[in-house]
Amino acid sequence: MTILVTGSAGFIGFHAANRLLEEGYEVVGVDNLNAYYDPALKAARLAHLQVCPRFHFQHAHVERGSDMLDLFQRVKPARVLHLAAQPGVRYSIDNPWAYAKANLDGFLSILEACRAGAVEHLVYASSSSVYGDSATIPFQEEDDTNHPLSLYAATKKSNELMAHSYSHLYGLRATGLRYFTVYGPWGRPDMSIWRFTQAIETGAPISIFNHGNMTRDFTYIDDIIDGTVAALCNYSLSGKTESSLVDSAEASSDSGRETDTLSTVFNIGGQNPEPIMRVVAILEELLGKDARCEFLPHQPGDVLQTCADLGKIRQAIGYERKVTLEEGLERWVKWFKHYSVPQ
């Protein structure tokens, strides 16, 4: 089976492509290698994947619809893992057009290519940010997601709606994964754990927003990949699992809406939110250095807390978090200190 992975030089995309190669699949990776953060890190990830002869890389922009149609026609992927996107909550405030281009036009290109190529299953990255500042903890897939606090979150919610419409109109099986604060080796330099680690190691100050009064459902990359690959490769292989594709967020009997059988979304997280300052404390211990914290006001677009309810994905594919925060941060620091990352 050939699987196409967009964003294959990105953090999650790299790990997903690597796991798929380990499991014997042919993988076509797509990435535009943009400069949102240092492309040298993306190139290093890509070089690691290209050691395997079953990995085939295509430098391309997903928002270019004709290019995607041509690519899908040539490689004929059976399944698609769409992870290419413009990430970052704060960056979306200053660069909104980048999000419309990559996250909306890009997703439409992938949907059209999947439709034209008769792809049997599309799995795509959504985000915990779609929940906004939900007062309901833990976040459940059935919760109201109509009040995103950033344009990034709004584009991810839009992706879910677009996928739903293509499932309804064209029979495309589509599964969205709402990722919760992913961290680990080969991570992104713009994310909090990388920034905290680098600052502590170098003695630079750390910007702590909302005066540290935030919690996040930090999820180690291996757990994320376990759930992602299971959703992509195992979730619809038999009649039994295909029947579980019915969205558990079924409309109530008085809503008049029919149950969706082809499009669904899952949380993938740890269901164990941690205070930001506890992360800093663990990193201080692992690095043997004290952090220089600068406590700042709340930033526009930030949510105060995240926590994933895992009931739906647990029932569908047996997903469970395996790596604790302490173990995950220890693995992360070991990689960070060992690997000569581009700065």
Q: Using one digit for the tens of pLDDT, what is the confidence trace for 319-341?
A: 999 999 999 999 999 999 988 65
pLDDT at 112: 98
Tokens of 152: 């990034």
137 SS3 class: coil
DSSP letter string over 291-340? -EEEE-PPPTT--S---B--HHHHHHH-------HHHHHHHHHHHHHHS-
Catalytic sites, residue numbers: 152
Mean pLDDT of the chain: 91
Rg of the chain (C-alpha set):
19
Answer whether residue 234 shows pLDDT above 80: yes
Region 183-189: mean pLDDT is 96
Q: Is 310 within 8 Å of 141 (Cβ atoms)?
A: no
pLDDT band at 258 (very low <50, low <70, confident <90, very high): very low
Q: Which range is least confidently modeled, 86-95, 229-238, 280-289?
A: 229-238
E strands in 173-221? 174-179, 182-183, 205-208, 215-216, 219-220
Q: What are phi and psi of 338, to 5 degrees?
A: -85, -40
Distance of alpha carbon 211 from alpha carbon 129, whole angstroms? 20
Residue 238 has pLDDT above 60, yes or no: no
- Residue 136 has a pLDDT of 86
Look at residue 25 and tell me whether its pLDDT is greater than 60: yes
pLDDT number for residue 80: 98
Mean per-residue pLDDT for 186-195? 95
| Residues 183 and 274: beta-carbon distance below 8 Å | no
Give the pLDDT score at 141. 96
Average pLDDT rounded to a whole number, residues 12-24: 98
Instruction: Please determine, for residue 247, whether its predicted confidence score (pLDDT) is greater than 50.
Output: no
At 259, the pLDDT band (50, 70, 90 cuts) reads: very low
SS3 26: strand
pLDDT of residue 191: 94
Bigger pLDDT: 216 vs 92: 216
Determine the pLDDT at residue 235: 74
The pLDDT score that the predictor gives to residue 134 is: 82
* Residue 53 main-chain phi, psi, to 5 deg: -70, -15
Tens digit of pLDDT for each residue in 31-88?
999 999 999 999 999 999 999 999 999 999 999 999 999 999 999 999 999 999 999 8
Q: Is the dihedral of CA 39, 12, 173, 28 positive or negative?
A: positive
Angle between helical axes of 221-233 and 11-22 (0-180°, round to 10):
60
What is the reported pTM? 0.92
Whether 219 shows a pLDDT value over 90: the answer reads yes
Q: Is the pLDDT of residue 89 over 90?
A: no
